[in-house]
Structure 1
């Protein structure tokens, strides 16, 4: 142990542990990317904290969400020994508090059960896991009282032998719901699989808590973004659309066909062979840029989401000339050509909203599709990618789904950005009606939009 102790503070050990932390936070980092990061760090002043962070950002992140996570992880991991001791003390206090809360929960969930044979009543403790007890402690007081009242009635109305397992299953189902609900209320910080190594787990917990406490805009439901935060949120949208614009504008894309050699990918792939070029990677010219058709729901529940999506399309208009854009509620309106890059976006949106007869009204998706198909059928072809933005809560969903099935046969693909939280999909019949005719994704935060842009809209 004494021989290994000095290794704890070496550059190599700290770098490996930091990569481990990032991977547990959900970042996909290959060995080649880790090598790129080391090579970048060699070329700069390792004592300059800002230079180190910029190098790690450049080599290890692929998205806006990745950068948010890495930034928090960097702040939590690279700290002084005094700060680390303070954090350990805080974590010890937190664990002690958690143990007390779980103990209190166990006492609250002990019940007296009458014996069906008339013998003395006995105490029953519900066989819940530590995680389930932890969820119980996070419930609002009124919800805990309601759950206890329900349990009390169940135990008194079921004087049978060994009722605890049956009732525990009922409680477990309720707590599972609350676990998912509380996670959504927290704003969607990354899910973490803890390592069991206390020092690393302390960093993981702190990163998740910091993201949750800051309520970073990337994880917030767009509907909940305040007017004060709107400028910052729209700036993030601009970054997302610029990133996609760069991808679209590239003259080449990756391929396995033997055409032009992709030197960068070839070098990276062959690092494993010591640099010898055993395997070549290729690229070819793109055939064409995508032709996009946006159909955006601007009914009352969707109006705020629509602003962000239209801002996104505004950012793409510089490189994608063929963006046909429609907004709909009770009626459909063609706003193609409104996105003039020479005019400020705020001015464009003000004009669209003021002139629109649909903004903020009810939702008739079937009518919108029928009008687009009949009056603008020339834009529906096998090069067209349709992007639908709606919560699926439309009039005559079955009729609209039939219209969608007809349109689907004419176009390349249909992507549906559903602003309804995924947990609500099973209880929303219209979701199932439409999913058979499109690729549907949950999209109510900027993190969702960023992920869909990177993984689904270009392929």
Structure 2
């Protein structure tokens, strides 16, 4: 290690130590950025902070794209953390292609009022020209004019939703296409598509500039760290199953296959290198003859791990549908790690859906399950008691000491009969019985939840609210 590297390491360690940081400027901003990543759940350690600083002399610091990728390479170890990294990078290293004095100061003084129609006409002209600098200036002006909200305490805040209530992006797109038609007299379908793609890209740039300006003003008013902690979204595998957007669900579906491969590797290694089995007395005594009968070297019988049979019983009603969907997709992606996987779904009655997952894509199987399986018996509201009773009547005889039973659901039974005796009998028949509950523990046994009634007859009722917790549990039982 060179003398220069030693000096860098000492300075970085000093900044990361407790107490007021002694450094200022760009180096301090990089270290603050790494600390923000750590608070956001990205595993950026002190050694990675040192690597980030060491990379700086080799970069063109005026090239944001190069800086972004270099810092990502040394701090992001999982693709699921990239979203949090990008959000924080935009906050800590905002684009500043113009001179510093062109950025209006954050002030509580209201700006001169603009006529909204005049502003929209001017914005349309700038968007048609495609000048990046002009678009950025118009975005800043939009935040100042339309995003400003004065609080009761006299303070001022800026909100993105108010800007886009005043600036209708879809109407702007239609106006831009209309102007393109006027300029060209007539557009072929290909020309119209090319224009649309280009105009949508310019509108996205405008929208991103508005978001960046909102963040800049919020950071100037409330402090960089406070804004960073509020705006950072959790990694996709830590998103709550109860609060998934369509985009979040698509990202989680894309994570299932890679996660299953990773879990399969871990399970195989665990089985291969598991602890030895019971003490082999005969071999131990024979081995001790060389030491005068003293058993210095105990001998153990080889451990023979087995693949369990897995029975999955899941509530697929609206309240827990996302949780059931991703659990079934993950389990069937890992079905080679089990000797047998059988799946049963229910709403107010139960049906076996194993065959739907044996061929084709798991996402398609979920769609077919909701349309083809007999899941509704009476009114389409969750009925755990009736569904468990039907499972016991038709399938309990298939449960053996090799079987592991998983029940998935929030145990909200709409004040109907519980039939907890079914779980008591399954516990007697099966090797293990678990209940996975996607609700936070503090909500168990509230309202129509009867978690305790079922929990006393299972080995463990586990809180599973996101994909990370689900993966950890599946790995544990495989």
Tell me the TM-score range normalised by the shorter chain: 0.5 to 0.7
CA contact (8 A) 1:329 1:363 kept: yes
Matched, 1:101 2:152: yes
Between 418-427 and 68-77, report the one with greater CA deviation: 418-427
User: Which residue number corresponds to residue 49 of structure 1?
Assistant: 67
- 1:66-109 Cα deviation digits (max 9, x unpaired): 44333322332233578999999559899xx99953589xxxxx
CA contact (8 A) 1:244 1:453 kept: no
Shift of 1:356: 1.6
Shift of 1:366: 3.1
Measure the CA separation in 1 of the matches of 2:107 and 2:90: 17
Distance 1:6 1:82, change over 3 A: farther
CA contact (8 A) 2:432 2:459 kept: no
Matched, 1:202 2:224: yes
Q: Which runs of 5+ in 2 are unaligned?
A: 1-14, 16-20, 110-142, 156-218, 277-301
CA contact (8 A) 1:302 1:391 kept: yes
User: Which residue number corresponds to residue 122 of structure 1?
Assistant: none
Measure the CA separation in 1 of the matches of 2:405 and 2:57: 46
SS in 2 for 1:292: strand
Note the 1:166-205 alignment, pairs <5 A: 201-205=223-227
Distance 1:289 1:303, change over 3 A: same
**Structure (1 or 2) with the larger CA radius of gyration:** 2
User: Which residue number corresponds to residue 417 of structure 1?
Assistant: 437
TM-score (norm 2): 0.51
User: Which residue number corresponds to residue 419 of structure 2?
Assistant: 400
Measure the CA separation in 2 of the matches of 1:216 and 1:101: 37
Distance 1:357 1:100, change over 3 A: closer
Distance 1:21 1:56, change over 3 A: same
Note the 1:126-137 alignment, pairs <5 A: none
Shift of 1:233: 1.7
User: Which residue number corresponds to residue 166 of structure 1?
Assistant: none
User: Which residue number corresponds to residue 23 of structure 1?
Assistant: 38
Matched, 1:310 2:328: yes
Measure the CA separation in 1 of the matches of 2:222 and 2:230: 13
User: Which residue number corresponds to residue 84 of structure 2?
Assistant: 69
Matched, 1:362 2:384: no
SS in 1 for 2:86: helix
Shift of 1:455: 3.5
Shift of 1:300: 5.2
Aligned length in residues: 322
Matched, 1:337 2:337: no
The counterpart of 2:265, out of the listed 249, 253, 258, is 249
TM-score (norm 1): 0.53
Measure the CA separation in 1 of the matches of 2:440 and 2:414: 16
Matched, 1:391 2:425: no
CA contact (8 A) 1:76 1:203 kept: no
CA contact (8 A) 1:290 1:320 kept: yes
CA contact (8 A) 1:327 1:334 kept: yes
Matched, 1:451 2:468: yes
Note the 1:139-288 alignment, pairs <5 A: 201-206=223-228, 208-209=230-231, 211=233, 219=239, 222=242, 225=245, 229=246, 233-250=249-266, 251-253=268-270, 287-288=305-306
User: Which residue number corresponds to residue 452 of structure 2?
Assistant: 432
Matched, 1:372 2:391: yes
